[in-house]
Structure 1
Amino acid sequence: MKTTTDKNKITLRVDGQIYEGWKSARVETSIDQICRAFVLSVTDNFPGNKSFTRLKPGQLVELYVGDEKVCTGYITSTPISYDAQSVNVQVQGKSRTVDLVDCCSPWSAIAQQSSGGGQAQQTDEWADVKGKSPSTPKAKPVKSSKRANLSWHNQTVEKIIADLCEPFGISVHCETTLASKHTNFTVNPGEKVVESINRLLTKDNLVVTDDEFGNLVIVEVGSAGKCFDKLKVGQNVLTGSSNWDASKIFSVYAVLGQHKGSDLEFGKQVSQDKGIAYDNRIGRYRLLVIKDTGQSSNSLNESRAEFEKNFRHADMMRSQHNVQGWRQSNGALWRPNSLVELEDPILQISGQFLINKVVLNLNQSGSITEIETISQDAYQRAGYKPSKGASGSTSSKTDEWADVKGK
């Protein structure tokens, strides 16, 4: 990639060609999504001496802001319109991980024919971007199995995810150490890969996203570091908003599930797994029951219930702020999974928050960054400690639902 003096210039590299001069742009990255996306548009002089109209869906693409790569993926669509004076071209694209969102695992329908699967062509095409360091030095590549499995037994989450991604030529990197193993995991028929991954994430309360190279990354919350700049009303914040929507928070969260029986465990022991979490910040009785899928356990359900409580309460205070420009005062781009000091007396929000979404916008108003923040508690993975009800007493042995009933 040729270096550029304009650190905010957006360029596309497609088949060795460099495309620039975009009139508008939108680049979105988020730790809540495994696939970053971009939309670029340009007005080319009729009949178009360049070549923006040569860009086609399915082409491999690298997107840069200045000299920094921010996305590696594919062009997904190229809407074109024209009149007597000009041709308007829009280029939409997504990270390589888009195949995990759109496609079903071959293991959910047919067995993989070989360990290489149809991957050789992708490997050759991406030889120039593979083997490079991941987005953070903490991340370690996860090796997939030599052959596909229809189900996994006593395997870690990162190993199962690596196997799910292997047929699509997508590498998995893990920043954290995951000690727990799943006794049994099976891909459901017709299930999208992202749906399989999400079922794994809900059990272990993990955060999975993509990086600028198109890899899938299991991240630690806040691992991108602390932002150099603060978000402060009256200084760099242009606009701010928050919904303060409490419709999805409850006073009691009950997660139900079941697991495979054995000679030592059967009946109610395997069919009535349950986890309870209480939110005493809610002033009235509100119960949410969640049915867990796949192999469960009391400890997994308790952890899931606690996660739901933390995430939903933090999500209520999710906020959005716009700032001028795409970079902080030290030249670094605003990035998701960073920690930022936020001071907004209008929304009555103050403290350190996690940036979970960043959108780089270029339009008639210039370069604007949309920053979405949420409390770090939203993604807390700490082990669950048994809670007590509002009265301070534990659940009744004679009434299995006494611990979730309203007082």
Structure 2
Amino acid sequence: MNDNVTLRVDGREWGGWTSVRIGAGIERLARDFSVEITREWPGSDGTKSLQPRIKNSAKVEVLIGADLVITGWVEATPVRYDAGSISTGISGRSLTADLIDCAADPRQLNGRSLVQVATTLAAPFGIDVINSGAPTGSIPSVQPDHGETVLEVLNKILGKQQALAYDDPRGRLVIGGIGSTRATTALVLGQNIISCDTEKSIRERFSTYQVSGQRSGNDDDFGAATTTALRAKTEDAGISRYRPMAVQQTGQATGASCIARAEFEARQRAARTDETTYTVWGWRQGDGTLWQPNQRVIVFDPVCGFDNREMLISEVTFTKDNNGTRAELRIGPPDAYLPEPKDPKKRKKSSAEDPF
């Protein structure tokens, strides 16, 4: 199968790259790419032909074979040389990169859904928003602070809405949930896995998580002018020594929301311990499709303790250089990427203490 990488700019295609790196993931808002050609020095009449003919700020489509993988902007055209060779390159990011870098329009948005808020914020940049199973509930109020980027505004509400934000190959902003599709090929030690890298770290895990919050009183709390303090606690059975963590819940808290936040912290941090990066040959699965982020994949790796365990691909990096054509897949339990729960009242019960 043809897996040559092509850059399409203004209807013209550029290829022949000797080094390629393309990255995409669910914990980033913009895919990125970098390509490079390295040659020996030509004769004096050939130096001009090595200068980049693709300019910064050009709109670009990046393709692997016939598959579109990035629609974005050229952001750099590096040149490097020494006594023996010269290399020229092109790098850039998805159209959604502007949502990471640029300030949001500081307008008040009331009573809109997450997709509606994202659509309004992305509209000035000409970026479309795709609903991939996003929650439909309305958000009472969203007000970007002065100088706050679109990504920073989205991050404040994504957790509470239990949704992810990432981009797709057409440079659109996708709002959706975890594990939208399944990989057709498993990751199996001794078959397609050629290397593994994992820390199995517990640095960010704690034995107990205590969440505190406040809410305004009501008629049952002796009038709206009173303030009730709330506190909830849960434990991580995998941490045996004393390591407490205290979290202050912002906004109008309830006993249920404090419990849910404590459980969320424990579950997500424990799941991060199993994050692993695998390297496989090639960029495609057994059915010919490219590896994709946000796919669920079966992993068999007795060395790391995975016995046909379903994991989530959080990031895919395609590389090509002198060492061959490879894909790096960062995987983890789905809980590692769970946003903060939307409806804590439906979650299982944890130990909660009475208000102070």
Do both proteins adopt the same fold according to a TM-score greater than 0.5, normalized to the shorter chain? yes
Whether the 8 Å CA contact 1:310–1:379 is kept in 2: the answer is: no
**Aligned residue for 1:267?**
226
Whether the 8 Å CA contact 1:278–1:388 is kept in 2: the answer is: no
Whether the 8 Å CA contact 1:307–1:379 is kept in 2: the answer is: no
Higher share in strand: 2
Whether the 8 Å CA contact 1:48–1:87 is kept in 2: the answer is: no
* CA apart distance, 1:73: 0.3
1:301–1:208 distance in 2 versus 1, CA, 3 Å:
farther
* CA apart distance, 1:362: 0.2
Q: What is the CA–CA distance in structure 2 between the aligned matches of 1:386 and 1:213, rounded to whole Å? A: 39
- State which of 185, 197, 202 in structure 2 corresponds to 1:241: 197
User: Residues 98-247 of structure 1: matches in 2 within 5 Å?
Assistant: 98-107=97-106, 150-223=107-180, 225-247=181-203
Relative CO higher for 1 or 2, CA cutoff 8 Å, sep ≥ 6? 2
Whether the 8 Å CA contact 2:75–2:92 is kept in 1: the answer is: yes
User: Residues 50-61 of structure 1: matches in 2 within 5 Å?
Assistant: 50=49, 53-61=52-60
User: Residues 322-361 of structure 1: matches in 2 within 5 Å?
Assistant: 322-350=279-307, 351-361=309-319
1:297–1:382 distance in 2 versus 1, CA, 3 Å:
closer
More displaced 10-residue stretch of structure 1: 180-189 or 10-19? 180-189
* CA apart distance, 1:178: 1.3
In the alignment of these two chains, the number of paired residues is: 343
**Aligned residue for 1:146?**
none
| 1:165-204: CA deviation from partner (whole Å, max 9, x where unpaired) | 1111111111114143322222112212111111111222
User: Residues 72-91 of structure 1: matches in 2 within 5 Å?
Assistant: 72-82=71-81, 86-91=85-90
Q: What is the CA–CA distance in structure 1 between the aligned matches of 2:332 and 2:276, rounded to whole Å? A: 7
User: Does 1:387 pair with 2:349?
Assistant: yes
Corresponding letter in the other structure for 1:194? L
Whether the 8 Å CA contact 2:279–2:326 is kept in 1: the answer is: yes
Corresponding letter in the other structure for 1:190? G
- State which of 11, 14, 26 in structure 2 corresponds to 1:16: 11
| 1:93-115: CA deviation from partner (whole Å, max 9, x where unpaired) | 100010011111132xxxxxxxx
Whether the 8 Å CA contact 1:254–1:275 is kept in 2: the answer is: yes
Q: 3-state SS of the aligned residue for 2:303? A: coil
Q: 3-state SS of the aligned residue for 1:189? A: coil
1:357–1:16 distance in 2 versus 1, CA, 3 Å:
same
More displaced 10-residue stretch of structure 1: 162-171 or 247-256? 247-256
Whether the 8 Å CA contact 1:273–1:296 is kept in 2: the answer is: no
Please, which runs of 5 or more residues in structure 1 have no aligned partner?
1-5, 108-149, 401-407
**Aligned residue for 1:252?**
208
Q: What is the CA–CA distance in structure 1 between the aligned matches of 2:155 and 2:146, rounded to whole Å? A: 15
Whether the 8 Å CA contact 2:160–2:342 is kept in 1: the answer is: no
- State which of 246, 255, 273 in structure 2 corresponds to 1:289: 246
Please, which runs of 5 or more residues in structure 2 have no aligned partner?
none
Corresponding letter in the other structure for 2:117? I
User: Residues 40-59 of structure 1: matches in 2 within 5 Å?
Assistant: 40-43=35-38, 46=42, 47-48=46-47, 50=49, 53-59=52-58
1:83–1:386 distance in 2 versus 1, CA, 3 Å:
closer
Q: 3-state SS of the aligned residue for 1:327? A: coil
* CA apart distance, 1:215: 0.6
Whether the 8 Å CA contact 1:338–1:354 is kept in 2: the answer is: yes
Q: What is the CA–CA distance in structure 1 between the aligned matches of 2:147 and 2:216, rounded to whole Å? A: 23
Q: CA RMSD in A?
A: 2.5
1:61–1:216 distance in 2 versus 1, CA, 3 Å:
same
